Structure 1
Amino acid sequence: MSRTSFAVPSPFALLAAVAIVLAGVLAGSMIQGCSSGGGPFRGLSPSRAPEEMRGIWVTRWDYRSAVDVERAIDVAAEAGFTDIFWQVRGQADAYYRSTLEPWGEELFRDKPNATDPGFDPLAVAVRRAHQQGVRLHAWINVYPLWKGTGQPKDPRHPFIRRPQWRLIDQTGQPQPQTDHYVVANPTDPAVQAHIAAVCRDIVSRYAIDGLHLDYVRFVGDSLPEGKIYPADPASITRFYKATGHRTLSTPADRRAHEGWVRDEITRLVERISSESRRIRPRIELSAAVWRDPDLARETQLQDAARWLKQGTLDRVLPMIYTDDNAVFVRDLNAWLEVAGKKPVTPGIGAYKHQPTQTLEQIRLSEPGAGYCLFAFATIFESVNPFEPKDQASIALRTARRLAIEAVQGAVGTE
C-alpha cells in the first residue's frame, strides 16, 4: 500500500458538504459527485446483496494498545464494515506474538525503551471482531524487509540477521536503502521458506477469517534504473538451471529472467495457499494487487490473474486509488474480465477524495464483489502519526465517516 497527500478544505465547507451528502443518501435523492467523471451519485442499488464485502484496511500505525485495537474494531463495525484487513506484518516484523520475527517498532512509539507491548494485538483484534460479527483478515506485507536509511533496533530482525536475503545487482551491490522498501529476494528458497513459515504460524494460532497478502510483487518501479535484480551468483545459478539461459546480456535473457522471478513469486503464493488451507480449510486467501491485471503481470511480476484462475486465491483487491472515476471503472472492468466468477473487490483510495467521490466510487464498484476502503485513519480518528490532527483534517475525516456510515447503513435495506 502507498498513498499521497490530499489538500484539506476548510472545516466549515466540509460540514456543509456532510449535511448535503447525508440528506441525499438518506432520502435516496441524486447528488452530484465532486469527481472528474462518472455522473451523479444515486445511492446504492436496492439489489446489492447485504453479504457483499464492505471492507477497510487498518494499518500497523493505527494501534499501540489493546484499547486502540478494540476501539478500531468497534468503530469499524458500528460504521457497517463487514471485513477488516488488519495489518500484522509490515517489514519482516510482527504485530502479534511471534518466535519467528521481532515485534514491530510502531508498537513502542510511546515507550521507546520497552521490548514487549504487554498484549497480543492480533489476538485482541480477532476476539473483538468476532464479538462484533465482523470478519478479520490478517494482512501481511510479503517481501518488504525494511524502509529508510536507518537500521532496525532489534538485532534479531531479518534485515540485520539475514543480509544475504537482500536483492543484489549484477555488480554485487545490494538494493540501496531509500524511502522505499528494501525487499527480500523472492527467488531465494530460504526467503520463501521463512515467509511461508510466518504465514503458517499466523494461520495455525489465530482464528482468522482470511489471510491477506500485500506487496506480493516485485517492486521494480522503486529499483535503480539499469540494475538487474536478483543477480547474485546463487540466484543467477538458479536462473540458468531453471531456464536454460546462460547469460543476462540480451533482451531475451532479461525477459526470461523477469519471467523466472514472476514464476518464483507465484511459487510462494501457491505454497502459502496450499499450506494455509491444509491448516484452516475455510480460510479466505486474498491479495492486494496492482490496479490493472496486465500492469500487475508485466511491471510488478505479479501474475494475480493466474492465481485467481487456478484457485490459488479466493479474491483479489485491486488497489484502484484514483480521483478519476473513468480510470476507476476501466481498471475494475479489466479485472472483472480476467477473473471469471472469482470475486474482485476494488480497493478505493478514500484518502484521495472528498466524501462524495468516495460514495460515487462505491456505487461504481457494484459490478464487483463489494469494495474495500484505504484506509482506516483517513476515515476515523486514530493514533496514526501520519494523519494530521488539525481542525480541518478532523472535519474531513468526520465528513468521510458520516457519509460512509449513511451509505453502508442503507446497503441491503433500501
Structure 2
Amino acid sequence: MAWLSGSKERIKIASAAVAASGLLAGCTSAAGGEVGALRADAPIAAGMAECPDIKPPGDSAARQVRGMWIATVSGIDWPSDTAHSAERKKADYRKLLDQARALGLNAVFVQVRPSADAFYDSPYEPWSQWISGEQGRDPGFDVLEFFVSEAHKRDLEFHAWFNPYRVALHNDRGKLHPDNPARKNPSWVREYDGKLWYDPGLPQVRELVTKVVLDVVGKYDIDAVHLDDYFYPYPSGGDFPDEDTYRRYGRGMSKGDWRRANVDALVKGLHEEIHRAKPQVRFGISPFGVWRNRRSDPAGSQTTALQSYDDVYADTRKWVKQGWVDYITPQLYWEIGNAAADYSTLVAWWAEQVEGTGVQLTIGQASYRVGERGFDAGELSRHLAVNARHRQVRGDVYFSAKDLVGDKGGATSRLRKDHYGAAAIPPPVAGGAAPSPAGSVRAEPDGKGVRVSWQLSPSKQATSYAVYRVEGRGKACAQVDPRRLLTTVRGSAIVDPTVKPGTTYTYYVTALDRLHHESAPARGATVTTEHG
C-alpha cells in the first residue's frame, strides 16, 4: 500500500478482540439470547412444489463487497513468524478467516507475490522468504492451495494479490535466490531508494509478470487477480534510473507518456489474458486514491495531493474508461475534511468515473490509521455513511487485516454496529446466470440452535447458498429481504446459534453461482423455540 516504506511496513497491532461466537457451521449472525428447547414445525416434504411465481432477488444496494487485505510482506498480517511450524501458520490463517466471517466480511485479498517471489510452487520464481524465512526454501505445503481452499470453505472470495514490479526491500542482489529471474537477468533490475525494482519499460518484464499471473490463474481456483498501487516507485529518491530503456524504447514520446504506456500495456494485457484463460476470474486494481488534481487537469479531483498519473505513471482513470479492469478499489485513506484530499470529495469523483463503464467501484479503507490525528474510532463508519449516498459504490476493503480484526481503537465494533448488522452478498458480476433454486428446506431442533438444511440446486453452476431468516411465521413462498440475510455457505446446512427462546422464525434459502447471481428462494421452513 502507498504508505508502506521498507522496514516500516511492519505494523504494531492490537490483540484480536472480535468474538467469533456467530461462527458455527457457516452461520455468521450476531449473538442472540440463550437457546432453549426447540420444537420443529412440520418440515417441507421432499419433492414438494417450490415457488414458481417468486422471482430471483436480483441486485440491490444491500449487495456489497466487504473485504480485507491480508499482507504477507514483512509478515504484516501473516505469518506472524516464519519460524513457526506449518500447522501453526495454518491455524493463524484460519483464525484470520474465521474473524473475517464473524465481522460479516465476504472477501479476502491475500498477497501471494510480494517481492518477485511466490507463496506457491512457481516455475518462474522462488518461494518467498516471507513464508519460509529464506527465499527459495520450500515451506512444506502448497500455501496458495491452502489459502484458497480455506477461504472458499468459509464462502469468502479469494483475490490473489500480486506486486508486479517490486523485487526486494533491500538493494543487495546477492541476497536474491540464484534462480530468481532478477538475479539471473540483472539488466532487468534497477536500484531506487535503497530497493530493487524491475524496470517496467522492458518487454521482458511485462512478459514475466504476465506468465507469473497466468500460472496462478491456470493452477488455482482463485476468484480474482489483484494488483495494488505500486507501479513505478513513489518518487522519493530522484528520477527512476531508466534512461537507457527510454532511449531504446521511447519511440519519440515524452518520458512520462512512455512510462504510462508501459504500465497501460501491462494492465490491458493482463485483463485480456486473464479473461482468455478463465472468463470467470476477474481483474482488479487498488490504486493510489488521487488520479490527478484539478489544477493539473480539469477532469481531476478537487484535491492537492500526490497524483498517480504524474508520480507513479498509473493512468487509473483511463483503465476505468477503457474497461481494462473489472473492479477498481482506490485507496482513499484520508479523513473527511482532509485539506489536501477530502474523503467525501474523492468518493464522489470516483463514483462519477465508473458511471456507465461496467467497472465495479469499491473503496480502500485505512483501518491502520485509526487513532491517528483526525482519524478517530468513528471515522470509518462515517466513511460508509458517505458511500451510501453514491449508488456506484459497491463496498469496501480494509487495510490491513490485523488492525481490522483486532478492533483497533474500537473502530471495527463501530462498523459492525452501524453498518454490518446483517451479512451481505457481493454484487453480481456480468458473465454468470442465476442457478436453479435449492429445494426441501427444513428447520429443525439442534442442541446448539436451529439446524437449517436443504437439497442442493441441480444446477452445476451453483456454488453457495444464502440463508435468510425472518421473525414470525412467514409465507411459504415469499420474496427474500436482503436485510434479513443470515449467512452464506458452501454446503447444504447451517446451524443458527442466535435464536431466542420462545420465538418463531422462518428460514428461506437461495442458490448462488460464483459470480453472485441468485436464484429465487425455495419454500420457507418455520420453527418455534420453546421457553427455556
TM normalised by structure 1 equals 0.75
1:85 and 2:109 matched: yes
Correspondence for 2:444: none
1:271 aligns with 2:294: no
Amino acid at match of 2:216: I
Give runs of aligned pairs for residues 86-101 of structure 1, distance below 5 A. 86-101=110-125
Distance in 2 between the 1:56 and 1:128 partners?
15
Distance 2:232 2:243 in 1: 14
> Deviation of residue 120 (structure 1)?
1.8
Which residue pairs with 2:367 in the alignment? 350
**1:116 pairs with 2:143:** no
Identify which of 233, 236, 242 aligns with 1:230. Answer: 242
Equivalent position to 1:69, from 93, 101, 107: 93
- Report the structure number with the largest CA radius of gyration: 2
Corresponding position of 1:377: 402
Give distance in 2, aligned partners of 1:355 and 1:220.
29
Residue 323 of structure 1 deviates from its aligned partner by 3.0
Residue 302 (structure 2) aligns with: none
Q: Gaps (5+ residues) in structure 1? A: 16-24, 27-46, 168-174, 246-255, 382-395
Q: After the TM superposition, which of the residue ranges 365-374 and 336-345 deviates more from structure 2?
A: 336-345
Higher helix share: 1
Per the TM alignment, residue 76 of structure 1 is displaced from its structure 2 partner at its CA by 1.0
How many Å separate the matches in 2 of 1:189 and 1:76? 39
CA distances 1:151-179 after superposition (whole Å, capped 9, x unpaired): 53522223322221123xxxxxxx3452x
* Contact kept in structure 1, 2:192 and 2:240, CA below 8 Å: no
Distance 1:58 1:374 in 2: 8
**Residue identity in the other structure for 1:380:** V
Unpaired segments of 5 or more residues in structure 2? 19-29, 32-58, 80-88, 293-306, 371-375, 424-481, 485-532
- Number of matched pairs: 342
Q: Verify the 8 A CA contact 2:127 2:136 in the aligned structure 1.
A: no
- Would the alpha carbon gap of residues 340 and 113 (structure 1) be closer, same or farther in structure 2, given more than 3 Å must change? closer
| Aligned partners of 1:86 and 1:139 also within 8 Å | yes
| Residue 322 (structure 1) aligned with residue 334 (structure 2) | yes
- Structure 1 segments of 4+ aligned residues over 4 angstroms from their partners: 4-11
Aligned to 1:213: 227
Q: Is the 8 A contact 2:67 2:105 kept in 1?
A: yes
Q: Deviations over 1:190-212 (max 9, x none)?
A: 10100000010011111111110
Equivalent of 1:135 in 145, 157, 160: 157
Deviation at 1:187, TM superposition (A): 1.1
C-alpha separation between the residues in 1 aligned to 2:394 and 2:131? 33
Structure 2 CA distance, aligned partners of 1:270 and 1:136?
A: 22
Q: Could you say which structure has the higher strand fraction?
A: 2
Give the match for residue 39 of structure 1.
none
Shift of 1:48: 6.8
Confirm or deny that 1:284 pairs with 2:270: no
Q: Residue in 1 aligned with 2:303? A: none
Structure-2 residue corresponding to 1:185: 199
8 Å Cα contact 2:329-2:362 kept in structure 1 = yes
In 2, Cα distance between equivalents of 1:8 and 1:147: 19
CA RMSD of aligned residues (A): 3.1
Determine helix, strand or coil for the equivalent of 1:281.
coil
Q: Cα deviations across residues 351-392 of structure 1 (Å, max 9, x unaligned)?
A: 1123311111122222212111111011235xxxxxxxxxxx
- 1:43-102 deviation line (CA, Å, top 9, x unaligned): xxxx97332111111111223322222222222122111111111011101112212111
Distance 2:350 2:308 in 1: 11
TM-score, reference length from structure 2: 0.59
Q: How many Å apart are 1:228 and its aligned residue?
A: 5.4
